[in-house]
Amino acid sequence: MCKNRLLFGLLVVLYFPLSAQTLSGIILSNETEKGIPNATVEISQNYGVITNQNGNFEIEVDKFSSTDSLRFSSLGYQSLKIAIKDFKKDTIIHLNKKVDQLDDVYLVNKNIEAQKIIEKAKQNINKNYSLDSLEFKIRHKLTEKYIFNDFDLKLKKINLIPKSQRVKFTTDIKKIIDEIKNTEHILEKFNSFSYKQFPHSKPKIERIEESYSVTKHNPTLVNSWYYALDKVIKSYIDINKEYQVKSGIISFDRDYKLQVDSTKLYYQLTWPKQYFLNPAEYDFLKNSEDYSFEIKEVIQFNENWYYQIAFKPNKAKAKFQGTLYISTSDYGILKGEYELGEGEKLSSFNLKFPIGAKLEENIASGSFMYTKLTSGKYSPKYYLKKTGEYNYLHRDYRLKLKDSNWLTPSKKITSNLLIDGQKITENQYYFSDKD
């Protein structure tokens, strides 16, 4: 935890150019009037965005002509084009479902055929995907949120604070408690980079652009046990001195050294290529024997036909459920969507008694899609991943100058901390040819 002790500034905002023109809207199914998640909104083969779970989207168009067109598409629906000049802000786009169907022979023996299709898809990975010869531009957006169900920091003793400043110190603690408890904390990072890899060579990565915005309290830090106290106490004590903290009935002692605020933000120029280059690395394909598969229907997209195959856990160790779209001709996996099965968690740590702590990885979902090239190969188009972690912490903390005696009543702060909240992290990757 010590390595995460950098404290961010009150508010750091670096935006894309303010002159950028952004269009927004929502894509709905004409049949159900519900939003279509993970639909694509493209202006060219090299630029586009993906709708969120409710079908909403935003896209910057300042680099394009007003006569260029927005193309809206999704598997199983007829695509639609609208010129940028004709698009109004917050427009509602309706897509019609395709009604074309293949002969019913494809739907015979659903359970048996589905498993065979999955095995053929795995066998054809090397033929259908370029695993070591790649060159494209990647646009990445990271969104982190922390939402508190409850938060409190009760002060019991504050003898470490000079007597003349204790009233103000207590007031400042109450103020930051309200700020943290009643606010949604959000961090957004945008960056783009080029990626090039050829057989028997190391990948080459080059930065193109980057920016970020963060609310007053950074969601990556705000749920740390020390965060609220750090933000206030640094104005009342000597930050150059070293301190020590002890916590809980089953206690620990550790060094506690206040640090100067930092606004540095690290951009990681990586992407989950182990999954995206080889979709067989996903658990539901790598361990397909742990899942059951069922053909739901056969649908058309860009003049090609695809099996829509639903999957769910078949054994206790399997965690995910979702849908795969697999070509009826070459068994290439065009698209996949997954989420944790009902009641499933990636991990769980529950020690509310005796140490007042609980941690659950309770969200894990994603969506990925490829473009089928004229060469017959499948090239990455987008990858979305959402993870979440529930935190609970309820413990006493005692803070003192290092090397002083814990039994000495002076020069010490004693508090009771309650953290109950949910962290959500979303990563979006969009792939295009290099400009």
Residue 408 has pLDDT above 90, yes or no: no
Least confident of 161-175, 264-278, 380-394: 264-278
Ordered by where they begin, the domains of the chain are: 1-99 (2.60.40.1120), 134-432 (no CATH)
Q: How many CB atoms lie within 10 A of CB 119?
A: 15
- pLDDT, position 169: 96
Contact 137, 207 (CB under 8 A): no
Question: What integer is the mean pLDDT of 381-393?
Answer: 95
- pLDDT, position 5: 32
Least confident of 250-264, 294-308, 364-378, 394-408: 250-264
Contact 8, 263 (CB under 8 A): yes
Residues 271, 383: Cα–Cα separation, whole Å: 9
**Per residue in 4-60, pLDDT tens?**
333 222 222 222 333 458 889 999 999 999 999 989 999 877 788 889 889 999 998
Percent of the chain past pLDDT 90, that is, above it, reads 51
Instruction: For residue 254, name the pLDDT band (cuts at 50, 70, 90).
Output: low
Least confident of 154-168, 246-260, 266-280, 291-305: 246-260
Cis bond before residue 272 (omega within 30° of 0): no
Closest CA to 308 of 329, 334, 288: 334
- pLDDT, position 287: 96
Contact 346, 332 (CB under 8 A): no
Three-state helix/strand/coil letters over the chain: CHHHCCECCCCEEECCCCCCCEEEEEEEECCCCCECCCCEEEEECCEEEECCCCCEEEEECCCCCCCCEEEEECCCECCEEEEHHHCCCCEEEEECECCCCCCHHHHCCHHHHHHHHHHHHHHCHHHHECCCCEEEEEEEEEEEEEEEEEEEEEEEEECCCCHHHHHHHHHHHHHHHHHHHCCCEEEEEEEEEEEEECCCCCCEEEEEEEEEEECCCCCCCCCCCCHHHHHHHCCCCCCCCCEEEEECCCCCEEEECCCCECCCCCCCCCCCHHHHCCHHHCHHHHCHHHEEEEEEEEEEECCEEEEEEEEEECCCCCCEEEEEEEECCCCCEEEEEEEECCCCCCEEEEEHHHHCEEEEEEEEEEEEEEEECCCCCEEEEEEEEEEEEEEEEEEEEEEEECCCCCCCCCCEEEEEEEEEEEEEEEEEEEEECCC
- pLDDT, position 410: 64
- pLDDT, position 9: 28
- pLDDT, position 401: 83
Instruction: For residue 234, name the pLDDT band (cuts at 50, 70, 90).
Output: confident
Maximum distance among all Cα pairs of the chain, rounded to whole angstroms? 85
- Distances 368 to 89, 379, 422, 431 between C-alpha atoms, Å: 28, 11, 25, 11
- pLDDT, position 253: 59
- pLDDT, position 303: 81
**Per residue in 68-102, pLDDT tens?**
899 999 988 989 999 998 888 778 999 998 765 55
CA angle (12, 14, 16) in 5-degree steps: 155
Residue 265 has pLDDT above 80, yes or no: no
- pLDDT, position 76: 85
- pLDDT, position 65: 86
